[in-house]
C-alpha cells in the first residue's frame, strides 16, 4: 500500500475494531493519516446504552459536532454498566471522533458501509462457482480495480 501514491490527508475510516486500526498504523505516517471512527458504528454503540431518548439525542448532537467532552458530560450522573462501556469506547477513540457534520458537508465519507459492501462483493466474486483464482494474481486484480475507482486507470 505504501508504494502507491497516498492522499494528503489520508482519511482512514474504521469501525472501532483494534484490528483495523492496527492495519492503518502501517499505512503512511501519522502526519499524513487522519483516523476517523465510523459514525454509524459510533451511534450503534450509543444506541446500546438505552435510557432517555432526550439524553441520547443530546449525546448524539455533541458527537455529531465532534464534542467528545460534551457527550461524556451527559453521562456524569448515570452509573450503569452499558454507560461505562460506552464511555470507555468513546474515550478510547476520542482522537478519531471528528466533526462529522463538517466532514459530511465536505463530501468526506463518515460511514464504512460502502467499503464493507465492496469487501463482501469481492468476497462473493472470489467464490464464484467454477472460478479459479491463482493466489499471486489477486493483488494485481485488486490493484487495477483500485486504480480504476480512483480515476488513475485509463483504458
What pLDDT is recorded for position 5? 80
Instruction: Assess whether pLDDT exceeds 60 at residue 93.
Output: yes
What pLDDT is recorded for position 59? 97
What pLDDT is recorded for position 97? 97
Instruction: Assess whether pLDDT exceeds 60 at residue 81.
Output: yes
How far is residue 50's CA from residue 87's CA, in Å, rounded to a whole number? 13
What pLDDT, in 10s, does the model give residues 18-32?
A: 998 999 998 888 888
What pLDDT, in 10s, does the model give residues 18-77?
A: 998 999 998 888 888 899 999 999 999 999 999 999 999 999 999 999 999 999 999 999
Specify the pTM. Answer: 0.74
Task: Give me the mean pLDDT over the 85-91 stretch.
Answer: 96
Question: Which contiguous run of DSSP H or E holds residue 37?
Answer: strand 33-37
Q: Which residues pair with 10 in a beta bridge?
A: 33
Q: How far is CA 86 from CA 44, 55, 61, 65, 142, in A?
A: 10, 14, 16, 18, 36
What pLDDT is recorded for position 107? 87
What pLDDT is recorded for position 154? 59
What pLDDT, in 10s, does the model give residues 99-155?
A: 999 999 998 888 877 777 777 777 777 677 777 777 887 788 778 777 777 777 655
Amino acid at each position: 500500500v505504501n508504494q502507491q501514491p497516498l492522499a494528503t490527508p489520508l482519511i482512514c475510516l474504521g469501525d472501532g475494531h483494534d484490528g483495523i486500526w492496527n492495519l492503518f498504523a502501517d499505512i503512511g505516517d501519522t502526519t499524513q493519516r487522519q483516523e476517523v471512527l465510523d459514525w454509524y458504528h459510533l451511534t450503534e454503540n450509543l444506541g446500546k446504552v438505552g435510557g432517555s431518548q432526550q439524553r441520547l439525542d443530546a449525546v448524539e448532537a455533541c458527537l455529531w459536532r465532534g464534542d467528545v467532552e460534551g457527550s461524556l458530560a451527559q453521562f456524569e450522573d448515570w452509573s450503569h454498566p452499558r454507560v461505562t462501556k460506552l464511555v470507555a469506547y468513546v474515550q478510547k477513540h476520542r482522537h478519531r471522533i471528528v466533526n462529522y457534520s463538517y466532514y459530511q458537508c465536505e463530501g468526506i465519507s463518515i460511514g464504512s458501509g460502502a467499503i464493507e459492501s465492496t469487501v463482501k462483493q469481492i468476497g462473493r466474486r472470489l467464490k464464484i462457482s467454477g472460478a479459479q483464482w491463482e493466489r499471486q494474481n489477486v493483488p494485481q486484480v485488486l490493484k487495477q480495480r483500485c486504480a480504476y475507482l480512483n480515476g488513475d486507470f485509463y483504458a
